[in-house]
Amino acid sequence: MKRNFIYNILFFFLVGNSFAQQTPADTQKTAISIEGATAHLGNGKVIENSLIMFDNGKITFVGSAMMKIARQGTVINAKGKHIYPGFIALNASLGLSEIDAVRATRDFDEVGTMIPHIRSLIAYNAESKVVESMRPNGVLQSEIVPRGGTISGTATVVQHDAWNWEDAAVKVDHAIHMNWPGAFSNRWWLGESLMPNKNYPKSLASIKDFFTKAKLYLSGNKTSKNIPYEATKGLFDGSQKLFIHVSGEKEITDAVNIIKDLGINKIVIVHGSGAENVADMLVENNIPVVIDRSHRIPDNIDDDYDLPFRQAKILMDKGIMVSIGMEGQMERMNTRNLPFYAGTYAAYGVAKEDAVAMITGNAAKILGINSFTGTLEVGKDATLFISEGDALDMRSNIVSKAFIQGRGISLESHQTKLWKRYSNKYKSK
């Protein structure tokens, strides 16, 4: 009842601009202290009855509320609530399509095979209605990835409260994504036999050829510019990571060996089914795996019904760092279910704080942004939110406040506006 009242007030407040996107919040002007909440730090640790303070967009204090220390600025009492670093969605494509079935809105798959120069950032629609629907679930940052081809293009990390792609960018062009070919003919859905893919060696050769030539080009005088090769520079100087979308023991092994031989050392495996069987190699080379959403059905008819739910646990038991990617059916709108994918992995074996780390601290490490964001630690971005309860559980993921880089952001969206508009319609009758 009380909540409805608050919403009604909010509704009247917002009604003037009810058809525009949410206005991005202004930079943090005053310090904020959040007191009394259970703080999930995103690195596996948890502080009950915590005190978190941040100013100028950065976290200034993380500790116990029992500490006798002056509270800075506005104090938010969050007793009984939970505080988390903003969740980070990997291998996402938010803002690259608004309505899946409407071709005019689809901007995620460019023509071409080896197109590392294709950049997701500039097509990222910061004002997407789908993006703003992430925030009420605590999903505050994501990796925007182009799809298709062999080398799909260059990805960027964004935060979800921005005027345009420039201020959305958290780390520009942080990685290149590529699709590794399958070693076996995989048109099984047509009832085809699983035969060795005759083109596999050829496909590998063309990948080797591309990167070898790029490397040679980059070490040369570059008189006539080659845009695709230029785009791979970061892979060779270590400033960019290569995310390889690959499944199957054989393919993963080939991918790691070939790419390392080419002098590219920062590798991330995406999808990675079968990765548990080559875990030693991945651990030895410090290669993390971005697994798929847990809400999927098993690949094979005889698989355990919960095999997809257990994938995180299986890999983590082998010492592999794991995070969750969004690629799949209706992936853009489903990205807001990231907390529940992690929750399901937690239900099937992963410790709850480790499950939080999967989509916060470890996600940041995999993206290479952990020096300034991803966990609740002093000096890092104040990108965090307060939830009424356990944010990995649908029942209690109720976000009351969220901050990105210290800015208190709106939790309204196209959807909440419609909710209020029609709730109000029936109330007034």
Partner 1 sequence: MKKLFLLLFFLSLTTLQAQEYFPTNTGVKTTKNTLVAFKNATIYVTPTKIIKKGSLVVKEGKIISVGKRVDIPKGAKIVDLSGKTIYPSFIDIYSDFGIKKPSRSRGDRRPQYDANRKGYYWNDHIRPETNPLSMFNFDSKKATQLVNAGFGTVNTHMSDGIIRGNGILVSLNKNSSNAKRVINDKSAQYLSFSKSLQSRQSYPTSRMGAMALLRQVYLDADWYASGNAKNKDMSLEALNKNKNLVQIFDAGSHLDVVRADKLGDEFGIQYTIVGNGHEYERINDIKATNANLIIPINFRKAYDVSNPLLANQVSINDMRRWNQEPSNLKVLSDNGINFALTTHDLKSVTSFHKNLQKAIKYGFDKTKALEALTTVPAGILGETTIGNLNIGSHANFLITNGDIFDKKTTLYENWVQGTQHVISDMTIADITGKYTFSENGKSYQLTVTGKGAKQSGSLNVDGKKIKSKFSFKNDWVQLIINNSGNFTRIVAQADNNGMSGMLYANDGSSSKWSASKSDTKKTKSKKKKSPKNTPPKVMPVSFPNLGLGNFNLPKQETILIKNTTVWTSESDGILKNTDVLLKNGKIAKIGNNLSTRGARVIDGTGKHLTAGIVDEHSHIATSAVNESGHNSTAEVTIEDVVNPDDINIYRNLAGGVTSIQILHGSANPIGGRSAIIKLKWGENADELIYKNSPKFIKFALGENVKQSNWGDTQTIRFPQTRMGVEQVFKDYFQRAKEYEALKKSGLPYRKDIELETLSEIINKKRFISCHSYVQSEINMLMKVAESFNFNINTFTHILEGYKVADKMAAHGVGGSTFSDWWAYKYEVNDAIPFNAAIMHNAGVTVAINSDDAEMSRRLNQEAAKTIKYGGMSELEAWKMVTLNPAKLLHIDDRVGSIKVGKDADVVLWSDHPMSIYSKALYTIIEGKVYFDVKSDKKKREAIKQEKAILIQMMLNEKMNGGKVQAPKKKVLKRFTCETEGTLIN
Sites of contact with partner 1 (CB under 8 A): 3, 98-102, 129-130, 184, 188-195, 248-250, 274, 295-298, 300-302, 304-306, 330, 332-333, 336-337, 340, 343-344, 346-347, 392-398, 415-416, 418-419, 422-423, 426, 429
CA distance 406 to 379: 12
Smallest separation (angstroms) from partner 1 to the CB of 297: 5
Distance, in Å, from the CA atom of 345 to the CA atom of 304, rounded to the nearest integer, reads 15
User: For residue 176, what are the β-bridge partners?
Assistant: 154, 242
In angstroms, give the least distance from the CB of 291 to partner 1: 16
Q: Which is nearer to partner 1, 184 or 236 (CB)?
A: 184
User: Looking at beta carbons only, is 208 or 296 nearer to partner 1?
Assistant: 296
Nearer to partner 1, 115 or 255 (CB): 255
Q: Give me 412's structure tokens.
A: 């309204």
Q: Which two tokens stand for residue 385?
A: 């939110």
For residues 57 and 389, which CB has a smaller minimum distance to partner 1 in the complex?
Answer: 389
Between CA 293 and CA 341 the distance in angstroms is: 6
Burial label for 277, CB within 10 Å (0-12, 13-18, 19+), is middle
DSSP state of 104: G
Q: With respect to partner 1, which residue has the nearer C-beta, 58 or 414?
A: 414
DSSP labels, 351-416: -HHHHHHHTTHHHHHHHT-TTTSSS--TTSB--EEEESS-TTSTTT--EEEEEETTEE-----HHH
322-324 sheet: strands from edge to edge: 87-92, 139-144, 151-159, 169-179, 241-246, 267-271, 289-291, 322-324
Half-sphere exposure of 284 (CA within 13 A, CB side): 8
Q: Which is nearer to partner 1, 180 or 243 (CB)?
A: 180
State in angstroms the smallest separation of the CB of 18 from partner 1.
13
